[in-house]
Homo-oligomer: A and B are copies of this chain.
Amino acid sequence: MGSISENCDDSISLAAPFRPLEPEEFRKQAHVMVDFIADYYKNIENYPVLSQVEPGYLKNRLPETAPHLPESFETILKDIKKDIVPGMTNWLSPNFFAYFPATVSSAAFVGEMLCTGFNSVGFNWLASPASTELEMVVIDWLANMLKLPKSFMFHGTGGGVIQGTTSEAILCTLIAARDGALEKIGMENVGKLVVYGSDQTHSFFQKTCKVAGIFPCNIKLIPTTREDNFSMSPIALREQIEADVADGLVPIFLCTTVGTTSTAAIDPVSEVAKVANDFNIWVHVDAAYAGSACICPEFRQYLDGIELVDSFSLSPHKWLLCFLDCCCLWLKKPHLMVKALSTNPEYLRNKRSEFDGVVDFKDWQIGTGRRFKALRLWLVMRSYGVENLKRHILSDVQMAKMFEGLVKSDPRFEIIVPRAFALVCFRLNPGKGYDDEIDKEILNKELLDLINSTGRAYMTHTKAGGIYMLRFAVGTTLTEEHHVYAAWELIKECTDASLTKTNIIE
């Protein structure tokens, strides 16, 4: 914004010009913030991992309305320390073992700074050629690292795009599959469309299907079992599809998972894709967490059969050091998605889009606006190189193996499913006095609460096959071996306390 002309009839009387992006002031504040964040990382172990505040804590600390006049940066920084930091559940703490880790890096941080700094809005090629073209480059780079077939690459016959989250990626591909089917059978038959996942598929899958107008009764979740390590059975899938076809329904979409959110279960991509291919069903592989591991030869086998699927997504914000949010989606036939999602308003028309066949990423996503998302991933890949990214994955897996060994060494504990990637699912199962599942669940809930209440580690739980279990997900960027050992010591300490307390009560 600029100064106000005094010559204009209806000029507004104001004091000195307001310049919210004065470069030297920007420089000063941003340098201060760099130090603030670097210090936060240095001291992160001093904060409780899980925030210990009570609901509503902040409302009472802040005024009800925004200030009329500016406040100094120093005042605001003080308030961040005083009011915001205590309310943080510190995802980057090395003692964070909850959910799946959201990994980060210096390279991604500076990449994100640059993305923010440019503030380019790359809805079409012309609005930001560099942003569009770099995204195409890094999507192909990562496809190469994963040894995806050329049919998924811009260098081949496919292509990909960076979405925010897996939900969006699945919504976009589902719409492509849905519209392809409706074109054949007519909109009025939307109630016949059926989609498939397993009972371990992430909960957003059902939500996404409902958003897309799939009838809830037509979202079929194939049951899994502990015996199969909660992976999808190709036989059960085929039976369900055959039954649905016999009922006059139209199967359109299968969401299969490599590394489920509960237990990191792995669906057999090749086998279920073959089943789906027999029925001409769009197959999507959601490898949000574990897909990153497949850059290592040790894990690439889990993508065997990927040439049989239609789309594939993984989230580098989970395990490739990228900060939130960054979900890469590859498609064999992007034009099917573009057809379903394209718009062509006059105010965005331009020669490049009309005559030069450029990629306009607005037609590869739900929204219109988009940031220069590729910078983070590009900086991560260049700054660390493929070799270090592989090492990073293997080191996390190694630490999880170590933790699994510790659990196994204590007869009071039980591993529920074999460790997959860097996730260990286990429970306290001390035998006599805890015979039925309800007793065991209560005991483990208490143990988990106790661990988390110390602030020294944060773990979460899940339930699969009716079994309540604790999840220990290794791999925040700052986690080292000694943190895993310390967490195990804490778990044992809290276990002793839990068991003693229960025994005394009894």
- The CA of A46 and the CA of B35, in the complex, are separated in Å by 31
Whether, in the assembled complex, A168 has its beta carbon less than 8 Å from a beta carbon of chain B, the answer is yes
Given contacts A165-B369, A369-B324, contact A129 B347 (CB under 8 A): no
Contact A368 B130 (CB under 8 A): no
Please encode chain A, from 1 to 17, with 1 for each CB lying within 8 Å of some chain B CB and 0 for all others.
Answer: 11111001011101001
Which interface class (under 10, 10 to 19, 20 to 34, 35 or more) fits A? 35 or more
The answer to whether B55 and A358 touch across the interface, beta carbons within 8 angstroms, is yes
- Determine, out of A135-143, A237-245, A271-279, the stretch whose residues face the partner at the interface: A135-143
Q: Cβ of B70 and Cβ of A346 under 8 Å apart?
A: no
Selecting from A383-391, A432-440, A498-506, the interface stretch reads A383-391
A151 at the interface (CB under 8 A from B): no
Q: Is the pair A51, B129 in contact by a Cβ cutoff of 8 Å? A: yes
Q: Are A129 and B55 in contact, CB atoms less than 8 angstroms apart?
A: yes
**A126:B89 contact, CB within 8 angstroms:** yes
Residues of B within 8 A of A129 (CB): 51, 53, 55, 57-58, 87-89
B-chain residues with CB within 8 Å of residue A56 when the two chains form the complex: 133
Whether the pair B66, A381 counts as a contact (CB closer than 8 A) is yes
Which of A102-110, A250-258, A300-308, A412-420 lies at the interface?
A: A102-110
> Are A68 and B37 touching (Cβ within 8 A)?
no
Instruction: Find A347's partner among B206, B216, B262, B347 (CB 8 Å cutoff).
Output: B262
A50 to B120, CA, bound (A): 11
- Counting chain B CB atoms within 10 Å of each CB, which of A2, A29, A80, A134 scores highest? A2
Partner of A371, one of B51, B125, B324, B357: B324
A411 at the interface (CB under 8 A from B): no
User: Which B residues lie within 8 Å of A356 (CB)?
Assistant: 55
B384 touches A18 (CB 8 A): yes
Q: CB-CB < 8 A to A395: which residues of B? A: 1-4, 12, 14, 18
Max count, chain B CB within 10 A of own CB: residue among A102, A190, A368, A405: A368
Q: Is A471 an interface residue (CB 8 A)?
A: yes
The residue in chain B whose Cβ has the minimal distance to the Cβ of A351 is B449
Establish whether residues B102 and A109, one from each chain, have CB atoms under 8 Å apart when the complex forms: no
Q: Are B165's CB and A385's CB within 8 A? A: no
Q: Which 8 A-B pairs have the closest CB atoms?
A: A213-B213, A87-B130, A2-B480, A20-B105, A165-B367, A58-B133, A37-B117, A203-B345
